[in-house]
Amino acid sequence: MIDDAAHDLAIEYLFGSLEGDAQREFEAWIQSDPELRKLVDDLRSALAAVAHAAPPVAPPPALRSRILALPSGDVAPPPVAVTVPSAPAPRAPVPWLPWAIAAGLAVVAGFAFLDRGRWRSTAQRVVADLAAEKATAETARDEVTSSAERQLVAETQIKNQGELVTELREELVRLRGRDALAQMKIATLSTQVAEFARAGVVVVWDPEAQRGVIQLANLQQAGEGKDYQLWVIDPRYPAPVNGGVLPVEASGSARLLFHPDQPVASVNKFAISVERAGGVAKAEGPIVFIGD
Amino acid sequence: MTPPTDASRQRDADLLQRVASGDEMAFAQLYDRFAPGLYSLVLRVLHDEAEAEDVLQESFAHVWRRAGTYDPARSSAFTWSVMIFRNRAIDRLRLRQRRARTLDGAATEALRFPQQDDRSAAVPAMREQQTLVRSALTQIPGDQREAVELAFFGGLTHEEIAERLATPLGTIKARIRRGLLKLRECLKEGA
């Protein structure tokens, strides 16, 4: 006789919630108990049927060609978001900026990458260059010992990276062959709150696609029962438009591909506030970052 | 049990077994039968078309490589596929964002599906199956269905669902258990 506890274990197993020893022990139990195995098989079928709760959606036709080319091996692996490896813990006053800008540009490159395959190699080269630039900057930073020197180097890096942003943006615009990317907005958000001084926030916004990516570094957790939430400030609306809750990793970094809740015609500013866990429909909490 | 007719189920199983033997035409037929439902599933989990396409491609590659592990005695080909695609989509979701924050709100959020698949009309057995399942889902009490969908589409654990719904853990477990058992019974009756 299978009791409720066994049912619950079977369900957790099927949802993938059992891990490690618990998973192995349950699988051994399945092998030794035909009744339990039958229950798991039945529940798996019922669970899989839940997939039909969503109406079928036609995948893009081009995807069919790519997937059906898999057996012949004549297909590239799925595109992966282009990212720069996480930076080590910073020691300079503003060490996150090169990384954050590099990450933001990687996202820009990622947009181009996803939109048109012919930019792929160039975008990857750009990102590789950025990664190399970042590594060079980090090496230089590590060699600086006095705080005054660190500050000087950081300021130089900011200037250099700013120039790099401009150069790469122009290059990508040229590669894209149209001016859509020129419309892409790159914003660095700043804070007046001392406890967030070490954090870095970069937003890349594509108005044409109505989507953006926000990348954060060195951000502390929002606190028990709270979340950081992104807002897009469009003068057309009386209140900021919700951009979504920011998932902050234990390392203090976060990255979110966001689609604002409402169409955004013109971005005046981006802002991040601290809100109740799970986010709110209208901003209520204190704004900790803002920028345009 | 999943509700497709025996003939339809047998056909899917045959296709998958032909895929296991390296039959590319069977792979194409399997794609045409399953892709709209599986893409919809992955899209509902990820809420991102580009990532959904990645997962669809990765998962079909897995199907191509691992079709030989399918056991028709234990599940239908569609059930086997759904579990692969769902698990990969949840894995991607967990990679992308920290689990508790990311999944919050995802499962019940109304997703803007780009377009329903007109080609599904070409697969009457699948349409029949979808109709039967949706009918069965309507027979499950709303709180049970909500809990099941949060776990299935959102990848939330029982504990996370309890926290999200501010409901005791035991109640959530009971809702999911009863919901799935009820669904199982409805599908058996409809099969």
What is the residue extent of each domain of chain B? 6-190
Residue of B1, B115, B177 with shortest CB distance to A57? B115
User: Are residues A11 and B116, on separate chains, in Cβ contact within 8 Å?
Assistant: no
Per-residue pLDDT for A225 more than 80?
A: yes
pLDDT of residue A115: 46
pLDDT of residue B12: 92
CB atoms within 10 A of CB A166: 10
Distance from CA of B130 to the nearest CA of A (A): 6
Residue of B57, B74, B96 with shortest CB distance to A41? B74
Secondary-structure breakdown of chain A: helix, strand, coil percentages, each rounded to the nearest 5: 45, 20, 35
Residue of B nearest to A251 (CA): B98
Residue B144: which of B112, B111, B110, B167 has the closest Cα?
A: B167
Q: At what angle do helices B169-190 and A4-15 cross, to 10 degrees?
A: 80
pLDDT in tens, B4-51: 567 788 999 999 999 999 999 999 999 999 999 999 999 999 988 999
User: Are residues A54 and B129, on separate chains, in Cβ contact within 8 Å?
Assistant: no
Long-range contacts of A276-281 (CB under 8 A, 24+ apart): A276/A225, A276/A226, A276/A227, A277/A225, A277/A226, A277/A227, A277/B104, A278/A227, A278/A245, A278/B104, A278/B105, A278/B164, A279/A227, A279/A229, A279/A242, A279/A244, A279/A245, A279/B104, A279/B105, A280/A229, A281/A242
Identify the residue among A13, A15, A57 best suited for mutation to test binding to B, counting B beta carbons within 10 A and taking the highest: A57
**Angle at A26 (CA atoms; ends A23, A32), nearest 5 degrees:** 145
Distance from CA of A173 to the nearest CA of B (A): 22
What 3-state class would DSSP assign to A56?
Answer: coil
Confidence tier at B83 by pLDDT (50, 70, 90): very high
Radius of gyration of chain A (CA): 24
pLDDT of residue A116: 46
Distance from CA of A62 to the nearest CA of B (A): 10
What 3-state class would DSSP assign to A51?
Answer: helix
The residue behind tokens 């991607």 is B92
d(CA B43, CA B183): 23
Residue of A14, A43, A57 with shortest CB distance to B36? A57
Residue of A12, A41, A59 with shortest CB distance to B39? A59
Reported CATH class of domain B6-190: mainly alpha
Return the CATH number of the domain spanning residue range A184-292: 2.60.40
User: Are residues A4 and B174, on separate chains, in Cβ contact within 8 Å?
Assistant: yes
User: Are residues A278 and B149, on separate chains, in Cβ contact within 8 Å?
Assistant: no
Query: Range with the lowest mean pLDDT among A43-52, A81-90, B91-100?
Result: A81-90
Question: How many Cβ pairs closer than 8 A exist between chain A and B?
Answer: 197
Per-residue pLDDT for A160 more than 80?
A: no
Per-residue pLDDT for A103 more than 60?
A: no
Residue of B nearest to A80 (CA): B54
pLDDT in tens, A86-99: 333 333 444 555 55
Percentage of residues of chain B with pLDDT beyond 70: 79
Mean pLDDT of A198-218: 82
Question: What is the residue extent of each domain of chain A?
Answer: 4-53, 83-178, 184-292
Percentage of residues of chain A with pLDDT beyond 70: 62
User: Are residues A78 and B54, on separate chains, in Cβ contact within 8 Å?
Assistant: yes
Query: Range with the lowest mean pLDDT among A10-14, A99-103, A256-260, B8-12?
Result: A99-103
d(CA A74, CA A68): 9
Higher pLDDT among residues A200 and A260, named by residue: A260
